[in-house]
């Protein structure tokens, strides 16, 4: 059973050096294959939660396991290997403006040591999955926000991660296209990748009946599955 657990927070707190208590006594389990929305107002602690999962920040105490690793005691040199099991999607896309769409996705493979042959085969496949096969030679500035985020998704997925962490991925996209991005994340999830998505867009959360974890002032105040939430 434990092997099915991808993320486990147990009584985790996080205080920043300036004394801000960002998370307080958080316990949360995410099983392999789940799709979880993390919701809550600005300053609630959502980004901090993601940063603990990626080891950008360290928890004060408690127990935090991600993909079989104990993040309170992980060695610094093990962190890059942990991150290779995750794909990140950002609100501001974070594409490299001087690179083409193909090169942006290829770069993510290149830095983990993939061969050119693998890259030539895999990148077009990934761009096909997000329906951007015709835009491979474009630069990010030539794309709409929704298209840029689809490149971001292809890049996050190209190394076949166990987990996608998306921090407000639809925050800079037209509402109509936001549904498209979450649809894609949902499809990716159905193929077996666990998805954790931070958002404060109620329409999205209501539409896609998934698990919803609500954070308020650094504490989890609600954790419901999609069906309960719809009632
Ligand atoms: P959210 O993502 O829900 O908007 P955050 O996790 O970014 O919330 O922030 C939670 C709390 O921690 C806020 O009060 C914020 O001001 C504070 N905080 C976030 N990052 C830092 C930091 N690096 N140093 C000090 N305080 C921070």
Whether the CB of 231 sits within 6 Å of ligand 1: no
Residue 99 Ramachandran class (φ > 0 left, ψ -120 to 50 alpha, else beta): beta
Q: Which of 15, 38, 45, 221 to mutate to test the pocket of ligand 1 (most atoms within 8 A of CB)?
A: 45
Whether the CB of 48 sits within 6 Å of ligand 1: yes
Q: Which of 92, 87, 106 is nearest to 191 (CA)?
A: 87
pLDDT 10s digits, 134-172: 999 999 999 999 999 999 999 999 999 999 999 999 999
What's the pLDDT score for residue 225? 87
What's the pLDDT score for residue 226? 73
What's the 48 CA to ligand 1 centre distance in angstroms? 6
Nearest CA, atom 15, ligand 1: 43
DSSP H or E segment with residue 139:
none
What's the pLDDT score for residue 94? 97
pLDDT digits (tens), the chain, 231 positions: 456 899 999 999 999 999 999 999 999 999 999 999 999 999 999 999 999 999 999 999 999 999 999 999 999 999 999 999 999 999 999 999 999 999 999 999 999 999 999 999 999 999 999 999 999 999 999 999 999 999 999 999 999 999 999 999 999 998 888 999 999 999 999 999 999 999 988 889 999 999 999 999 999 999 998 766 555
pLDDT 10s digits, 185-199: 999 999 999 999 999
Whether the CB of 171 sits within 6 Å of ligand 1: no
What's the pLDDT score for residue 208? 93
Instruction: Report the nearest atom of ligand 1 relative to the CA of 50.
Output: 6
User: For residue 71, how many other CB atoms are within 10 A of its CB?
Assistant: 23
CA dihedral 61, 10, 211, 196 (to 10 degrees): 40
What's the pLDDT score for residue 1? 47
Q: Is residue 43 classed as helix, strand or coil in its secondary structure?
A: coil
Q: Are 52 and 62 in contact (CB under 8 A)?
A: no
What's the pLDDT score for residue 76? 94
Whether the CB of 47 sits within 6 Å of ligand 1: yes
Question: Could you give the CA distance from residue 59 to residue 136 in angstroms, rounded to a whole number?
Answer: 40
Q: Is residue 70 classed as helix, strand or coil in its secondary structure?
A: strand
First to last CA, the chain: 30
Q: Are 70 and 10 in contact (CB under 8 A)?
A: no
What's the pLDDT score for residue 227? 64
What's the 114 CA to ligand 1 centre distance in angstroms? 36
Q: Are 195 and 36 in contact (CB under 8 A)?
A: yes
Question: Could you give the CA distance from residue 142 to residue 151 in angstroms, rounded to a whole number?
Answer: 12
Q: Are 54 and 83 in contact (CB under 8 A)?
A: yes
């Amino acid at each position: 059973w434990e092997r099915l657990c991808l993320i486990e927070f147990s009584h985790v707190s996080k205080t920043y050096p300036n004394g801000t208590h960002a998370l307080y006594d958080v316990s949360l389990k995410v099983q392999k294959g789940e799709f979880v929305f993390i919701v809550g107002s600005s300053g609630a602690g959502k980004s901090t939660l993601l940063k603990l999962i990626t080891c950008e920040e360290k928890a004060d105490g408690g127990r935090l396991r991600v993909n079989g690793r104990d993040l309170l005691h992980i060695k610094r040199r093990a962190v890059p290997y942990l991150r290779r099991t995750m794909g990140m999607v950002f609100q501001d896309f974070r594409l490299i403006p001087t690179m083409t769409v193909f090169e942006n996705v290829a770069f993510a493979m290149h830095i983990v040591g993939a061969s050119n042959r693998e890259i030539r085969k895999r990148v077009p496949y990934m761009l096909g999955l997000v329906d951007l096969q015709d835009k491979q030679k474009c630069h990010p500035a030539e794309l709409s926000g929704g298209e840029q985020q689809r490149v971001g998704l292809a890049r996050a997925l190209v190394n076949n991660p166990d987990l996608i962490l998306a921090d407000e991925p639809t925050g800079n996209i037209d509402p109509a296209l936001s549904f498209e991005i979450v649809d894609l994340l949902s499809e990716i999830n159905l193929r077996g990748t666990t998805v954790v998505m931070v958002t404060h867009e109620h329409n999205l959360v209501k539409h896609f009946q998934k698990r919803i974890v609500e954070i308020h002032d650094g504490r989890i105040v609600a954790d419901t599955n999609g069906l309960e939430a719809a009632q």
